[in-house]
Structure 1
Amino acid sequence: MGLKTMLHLGFYIIQFLGVFVVSAQNTLNPSELKEDFQLFRTALEEAHPGIYRYAAKSSMDGSFESVGTELDQPLTQQEFYKILNPVLTKIGCGHTKLMPSEDKGFMYYYNLETLFPLKLFLDKNRAYVRYSYDTRVKLEPGTEITAINGMGMDRIINGLLKNLFSDGHNQTFKYYELNRYFNALFSNFYLEEGKAHNQFNITYKHRGRKGSMNLPSVSYQIVMEHDTEEQNGIPYQLEFKNSKTALLTIRTFWPDEEKYNFEAFLKESFAQINSNKIENLILDLRGNEGGKDAFGSLLLSYLVNAEFRYYDKLVVATNERFSFVEHAQLPEGYEQLRTLITQTEDGEFRWEHNGNLGVQTPQENPFKGRVYVLIDGACFSVSSEFCAVANHLDRVSFVGEETGGGYYGNNSGAFTIVTLPNSKIKLGIPLMAYYTAVKDYEFTDRGVVPHYQVQPTIMGVLSGRDEIMERTM
């Protein structure tokens, strides 16, 4: 098994290890905090292959040292988490995670019975109501929320953005996470665990009128029941928009392989596309956070008529045994796999056992018409790799929003899960730095910027319009 195929296993491990709930937070004394922090820093410096990819060592050292000055007094786990998290985000790695031990689900860590009751649409520094999780709340969809508990939305949004992970200096993935998990994030960073938060005071404006009101809190269970209903479980599908245009939707590169065969789906789909003499192919990758890297290069092989490179190199931090192994859960077989790591003459450690490192061959009958790829901030990991190489080959046109993953690659693959012994916070560190076979891109620290930029609006969302698809058609 290649290291990157263990990506989702890493996240499953994180979720499995975090299912128990601590009823109350204990206070950690300074010596316990400093012990945890030293392990936190050591693990990142030893294992993270891209810790200095976007931030200079001097900058990271300064961030680490600033944390040390805040650990001279007792802190709860939540307070400690809020100190560590912004430092981690400075690495610029969307695959790096910091997860407190009592999470029920990803991003939901604190105040799970008293969450903010509105689903919001965040647009820059403004927030609009999509719907309420509580039927007693009578706020018209589209109402702008200007403050929560006396804090302006611009201050709240900017504070949360500093605590969200993304590749490089990308912002669209952060907004994707913000829109998806606002209720959790607000509770994690703006509500103190253990105190009563049975209601929220908001100020709002709508149709020229301003007002304020108190909203009842809702539970995590209610939020999950409502949000799960919105998800479409079909991983990919082919439709024909008209006699000349096909729509290929791929929502994930990590489908349930017992139910769905991705290779067979692509083979059958492109056979139909070519037999129908389609001229325009719309490839919808919106919401696709990635998965199996071989699927990205496979998809691209159906769109090009010449050999191409996909990955330039795969880099790891070291081939030495980590000093923190007693606190870490490593990928299965990692001790054997690390013996296969090679070192270049300039001292770089490489993993050279990935099929995407070789020259990729196009399919026998690839699609030769026009290709329009729909993208947004959720296009991450494998999806952003595919987009970067396709853009480099000048094969497709992009419509929508900037991809969330880095143009020049990301840090992912297998993970080590480090448990800080006193706080029980879990640190998920990707062990592989992926470098796509691209060059000469204008933005070295961003994702793929679309040729035709389309930003969804609250009015479009509420009316059920697909503004990106409309522009594409």
Structure 2
Amino acid sequence: MKNFLLFAGFFLLTSCISVKKFNEGLKKPVSAEKLKADVDFAQHQLEKLHPKLYWYISKEDLDFKFDSLKTTINKPLKPNEFYQKLAPVIADIREGHLRLYSAEKRLTKKEIRDLKKQKGLLSRYNFVVDGNRVFVKDNPDKLPNMKVGSEIISIKDIPVKNLIEKYKPFVNSDGFNTTFQKYSMARRWPTFFTEEFGILDSVKVETLFENQKNTFYLRREKISEKELKSKEKQEKKLTKSDSGKTKDYNIITKSFNRDLQFPQKDSSVAYMKIKTFSGTYSRKFYRQSFAVLKKSPAKYLIIDIRDNLGGSLAEINNLYSYLVSENFQFINDIEVTSRASMLQADYFREFPTLLKPFAVLVYPFYFVGSALSVKKESDGFFLRNNSFFSIRKPKKDHFTGKIYVLINGSSFSASSIIASKLKNDQRAFLVGEETGGANDGTVAGRYSTKKLPNSKLKLPIGLMLIQPNIDFTFTKKGVLPDEKISPTLDQIFKKNDVQLQWIFDDIKKDK
């Protein structure tokens, strides 16, 4: 016990020193020559690992941007000052999954524990971004001064429009899509703000609501020990329950990621909301849900993947098998850049600390498996056939009625892939906005996270070109809806779901 306490004390001490050393490094400028070397390093890694680097930008244009960037680096810069220069060039590649990460200040274990006992500052709200304006979309805790529909004019005495304009170059989508950015900015601007100004206990805010200006302070509230224990108990109860598993209870949003409802009295219409394709217990959920649908009188199925940022390729492949009545191939062979590229994947990062020794033991098998998983064809390197690429049969409980799919600019990655496949095969009618993810596929799957050697910024690079088995549109844009409907700000604030209502009206006509 004495040795254990000594070891624990030593571990905590070295951990604190490591955090302090890292944070001090964020304040130290890096020489211009070293930063230029980081630019070259990032460019080289992208050329080596990214299988579709010149999809939306030519090699000549990208080379020019990297060269031009280096000419602007003529003095030492701190890591995050360098980030503000390099991140926009990475965003110009127009791959929504590809982005540079800034160097965030690290927290000690005590600071992390203390934060867990506090409620957030800006994270307690959901926002809507319209141009350079930010509005409060939701205030679930009903905190004063932040009514739904309030416009945030300034924060910390800085005009919000200036902040949004500053953060815009860091946000990109797939290709030349324009619907994704406002949703992405609505989620990410508080993170950009925190990265720039640190974790604050309070912040001065100016809002405008019904032509009335209001200035006040948002404050970080503490959670009592009793409230914290009650919250943990309730979340544990929900997540461990069978329903919490199959519907994938999310402790952050305090809601289920998947759900099936029958919104009309005669149960002729089924509504399936999927907030994220997490993969967690998804097979059981779809097996149970489509068994229920098979026995129900439902002739119409509405699948809502608005604000679904994607996730598991296995989940959407499985879901698709419940939506068709004929054999199908869901995606094309996955392209990679070389035989060795998959060996660069973030293998050890996927294991928790306690399992890392096990990961070391298993690595030789992973190495051999990865090396053998790539085949060379005349037009490039591809992963060998597996269940994702093969011809698959529909499930016995597949739905045979009419399918509607709700999409918007925040339907991304896996959401775009399944929407694209359903539209191409004329199996569903799409309603809403153009998706944020591209119609013809995306580069994602496994990642190789490269740390720039001098600035220590991190650049995760997607290794796999994933494309649905469709006739490509070559539009370099998202999946276009069959019925385009974009809600107004007023409709959003009043929770008037005009897109879903359009489907109900169309079903009524169809009946």
TM bucket, shorter chain: 0.7 to 0.9
Q: 1:314 maps to which residue?
A: 334
1:209-245 Cα deviation digits (max 9, x unpaired): 5x574x54656999xx9xx977144232211122211
Conserved 8 A contact 1:312-1:436: yes
Q: Are the equivalent residues in 2 in contact too, given 1:134–1:218 (CA < 8 A)?
A: no
1:183 is matched with 190
Contact 1:50–1:91 (Cα < 8 Å) also in 2: no
Q: Structure 1: how far apart are the matches of 2:333 and 2:137? A: 43
Structure 1 residues 134 and 26: CA distance shift in structure 2, 3 A: farther
Q: Does 1:297 align with 2:317?
A: yes
Q: Answer yes or no: is the 8 Å Cα contact 2:447–2:460 preserved in 1.
A: yes
Q: Contact conserved, 2:83 with 2:102, CA < 8 A, in 1?
A: yes
- CA distance in 2 between counterparts of 1:371 and 1:359 reads 22
Cα 1:129/1:325, change in 2 over 3 Å? closer
Q: 283-292 or 450-459: which moved more?
A: 450-459
C-alpha separation between the residues in 1 aligned to 2:152 and 2:48? 44
Q: 1:37 aligns with which of 33, 36, 39?
A: 39
CA distance in 1 between counterparts of 2:57 and 2:479 reads 20
Q: Secondary structure at the match of 1:231?
A: coil
Gaps (5+ residues) in structure 2?
1-17, 108-114, 229-249, 351-362, 505-511
Equivalent position of 2:61 in the other structure: 59
Matches within 5 A, 1:92-171: 92-102=94-104, 120-130=127-137, 138-146=145-153, 156-171=163-178
Give the superposition deviation at 1:159.
Answer: 4.1
| Equivalences, count | 434
Task: Compare the two structures and name the one with the higher helix fraction.
Answer: 2
Q: Which residue of structure 2 aligns with residue 238 of structure 1? A: 260
Do the aligned residues in 2 keep the contact of 1:115 with 1:187 (CA within 8 Å)?
no
C-alpha separation in 2, matches of 1:92 and 1:63: 13
1:354 — aligned with what?
386
**CA-to-partner distance for each residue in 1:233-292, whole Å, 9 max, x for gaps?**
423221112221111222222243xxx3x2232222222212222111111122322222
Q: Which blocks of at least 5 consecutive residues in structure 1 are unaligned? A: 1-17, 106-111
Aligned to 1:342: 375
Q: Distance in 1 between matches of 2:476 and 2:409?
A: 14
CA distance in 1, matches of 2:180, 2:19: 26
Which has the greater radius of gyration? Answer: 2
Q: Secondary structure, in 3 states, of the residue corresponding to 2:170?
A: coil
Report how far residue 75 of structure 1 moved: 0.5
Contact 1:289 1:383 in 2 (8 A): yes
CA contact (8 A) 1:330 1:417 kept: no
Q: How does 1:2-81 map to 2 (within 5 A)?
A: 22=23, 25-81=27-83
- Distance in 1 (CA, whole Å) between partners of 2:326 and 2:147 is 54
Structure 1 stretch 444-453 or stretch 422-431: which is displaced more?
A: 444-453
Where does 1:71-470 land on structure 2 (aligned, <5 Å)? 71-102=73-104, 120-130=127-137, 138-146=145-153, 156-188=163-195, 191=196, 199-200=203-204, 202=206, 205-208=208-211, 211=213, 213=215, 215-216=216-217, 231-242=253-264, 243=266, 244-256=268-280, 260=281, 262-320=282-340, 333=366, 336-346=369-379, 348-439=380-471, 441=473, 444-470=475-501
Report the equivalent of 1:472.
503
Between the aligned partners of 1:447 and 1:149, the Cα distance in structure 2 is 36
Q: Percent identity?
A: 27
Q: Cα–Cα, structure 1 residues 282 and 131, in superposed 2: closer, same or farther, change >3 Å?
A: closer
Contact (CA 8 Å) 1:407, 1:446: kept in 2 or not?
yes
User: CA separation of 1:300/1:255 partners in 2, compared to 1, >3 Å: closer, same or farther?
Assistant: closer
Q: For 1:435 and 1:229, locate their aligned partners in 2 and report how far apart those are by CA, in whole Å.
A: 32
Q: Distance in 2 between matches of 1:54 and 1:453?
A: 25
Of structures 1 and 2, the one with the larger relative CO (CA 8 A, separation 6+) is 1
